[in-house]
Structure 1
Amino acid sequence: LEGAGTENVVVGAIGSRRLQATITGPGGHSWTEAGAPNPIVVLSKAIAAMERIKLPRQPRTTWNIGRIEGGMSVTSVPERASCLIDLRSVDMDQLISLEVQVHRALEDAVLEANDDAGDRRLSLHVATIGDRPAGTLSTEAALLETIHAVDRHLRLRTELRIGSTDANVPLALGREAIAVGAGGIAGGIHTHSEWFDPAGRELALRRVLLILLDAAR
């Protein structure tokens, strides 16, 4: 079960890689250590380079910086800066290519900063904090036939979608898997204004039950 909605069913898995990139350095006082490599500035240059990466429209591929942090005060050269990066694509080859380009943007920014840094060099660490493979449910899958039969019975219009859900792994392994809404309506997803209205949820729960009963035979 994934989010709200009654007629939606996720049959295509969007692959994703989540990275945490961290740049560290000696830091120091903003006056006495002026000119020391600044991790926040260097990370910003890397992000600007990522913005220049050419992304294909098809297969759709995206990236996002979801969080950035670093530094202690306005009077100090920070010792650390980090960001969280979300990479997504419906095609695993494109996802790998994008990840390589993001790594290159980070590495190039640090190498450039270290060219004239002497012994005040910066270090880069990139950790993978999330990994979901891409995949697609076969149009001939028995589970998809069940969905269509249940929706006809309930007089629902089946809305086939792609998404990043817990169905990703089994779909990538060639197993039959789907993600369906648990009813109600929602909006403002992933913001402080996110909301949910449970109206009409009973129909979605009937749908879930019928899918389970038919799949279990």
Structure 2
Amino acid sequence: MPKTYPRPDLVIFDCDGVLVDSERVFNAVLAEDLTSRGLAMTTEVSLPTFAGLAMPEVAKKATEMGATLPETWIAEVYEIAYATLRQGVPLIPGVMTVLHRLDAAGIPTCVVSNGSEEKMRITLGPHGLWDRFHPNAMFSAHTMKVAKPDPGIFLAAAAHFDVEARQCVVIEDSATGARGAYRAGMQCFGYAAHDAGDLLAAEGAEVFHDMADLPLRLGLD
């Protein structure tokens, strides 16, 4: 018999790579900038190296790898990245259908992201998702001063909705996010659109590759 899943009381979505296909765009900017600062980097290397990390952690890791970064580096990278993202990024295929089905089932949703609110406004706004989630269902590491993989940002979201951690489901595409969900005691489904999802699985996530497969895992099918 096929596996059955209980319905959660809250579904927590990551933003980049789960709601919008922005990870590659942002990491292309990041790779080009770091290369100019002494750390040769490609988008393909940047993605697994930095995806899911908050920018202070990206700066720390890049410096440890050999980049020479000014104190204003994060602001400078964001300025370039925001200009690029304003040209538009597509939704992850099938994610709006999932959101509509969760709405129909009366299951609340929110966004937990290591990205800034400004970045999410730029990427989610054209698709109507900024208005959907902001401000009462959006939790940004930049605003809350706690970032994945610290479980605190997930637990804050659960507390806001008065839901126990074990009744939450997290949708992530990075090992960093999956690790945070695990530490928070939450079930995590790892969206792996471009690979087998081994890094997600290593952090305890149940891997899936198509948003069309998510409703079953959320107890909707």
Please classify the TM superposition score into its range, dividing by the shorter chain length: under 0.3
Q: Of the two, which has the highest radius of gyration? A: 1
Higher relative contact order (CA 8 A, sep 6+): 1
Higher helix share: 2
TM score, norm. by length of structure 2? 0.27
